A and B are shown apart, each in its own frame.
Chain A
Amino acid sequence: MDYLELTIGAVLVNNIVLSKFLGICPFLGVSKRLATALGMSGAVVFVMTLASFITSLVTKYLLNIDLGALGIGEGTVKLDFLQVLLFILVIAALVQLIEIAMQKLSPALYQALGIYLPLITTNCAVLGSATMNFNAGRGVLASTLFGLFSGVGFALALLLFASLRERLELADTPAAFKGTPIALITAGILAMAFVGFSGLC
């Protein structure tokens, strides 16, 4: 039951874009066409899952160092203040690694995701989901699930918005609202619509 709450909550109720307002940059930047939005969504789901997994490991093993176990003293050292720094370092290195390996192992996947991967290395939505995991004190499995479904939530919001924007291109908008203004208004209305899920869990 907890996991159901976690996953549906991450996709709909606490949608990372539309209720947490993280990752607004790619949300507005790559939502002009559905095809590019698809590529971006794939990359975000991929990176966010892996980043949540790896940062939960970092939280577990690197932020609480047991000096006694290492045989160099006694007691544990809490390094919570290093959280953001460590997360950025680890996520950036991870994405770099994946990119290099993917280019060799799966050129097709690299073609599809390749250009979006470096863009979202330290995207605030990716870092945000890692920090939220940390603050909620989630374990490795729960963190990874949360990362995956936050990514799915991001993809849902981005794809919805990209489809809306493709329609808006053809709509008869007043001159003053053409382009970005009407897109921002649409994003606001979309966010309001997502408030409707708030009673769900």
Chain B
Amino acid sequence: MSLRLRLLPYTVEGGPVQMAQDESLLEAAVQGQASLRFYQWSEPTLSLGYFQPVAMRQQLPAASTLPYVRRPTGGAAIVHHHELTYAFALPPRLAFRQTSWICLFHQLLAEVVAPVFAPGQLHLVACGQERKLGEILCFLHHSAGDLLLQDNKIAGSAQRKHRGALLQHGSILLRRSPYAPQLPGIFDLAGREFSTPTALAEQLARRFAQQLHAELYPDTWTTAEQQRIQQLLAEKYTQPAWNDKR
């Protein structure tokens, strides 16, 4: 087992900090460092896909007044509220090893929650089965590789590629948010809170490392990374030039 996968601390922070930390993860991957982390958002926040116009917020009446941040990744908007977010970044040679990291991670999530649900209730959207139930929200786009539970999308993921390295982050819906009331979470669909965000994170981390045949080890940000995160926060993710760029 030669690959080492560092597991960074579980954090609860605002959107700009989380996006700065994720981008820092990608930069570390370019240098050869594989990383994984899980987090939650300190306040309900809307994240926009890299190419989404900021004016789209007005088409989401329940979420239009939320703080928002633009992601470095593609895809559609997400209301981050009662959810668990994951992010991993992989160096170039590892990133090319798998054709669909989104399918892989969603499959791991399916395996983690499968014991709670009856057989046949969970499935990954196959190519050709894509559906768009709304324009703006990620969780209303059923794309290939998305995980559906009782026909509701419960995990949405997006990627950024940089110099061959890959950043993938995604949202796992736990409970319905009043800011996106049309989207039930896993606990809603189960009828009970069968786990906690941190317990789910631990299970997913273990399974992800097994899948990669990697040694998972807890770690913290280096001093240089902390400085870079502060720079990205100040110069990018809190700036209208980034968040309102379209």
Does B associate with A? no
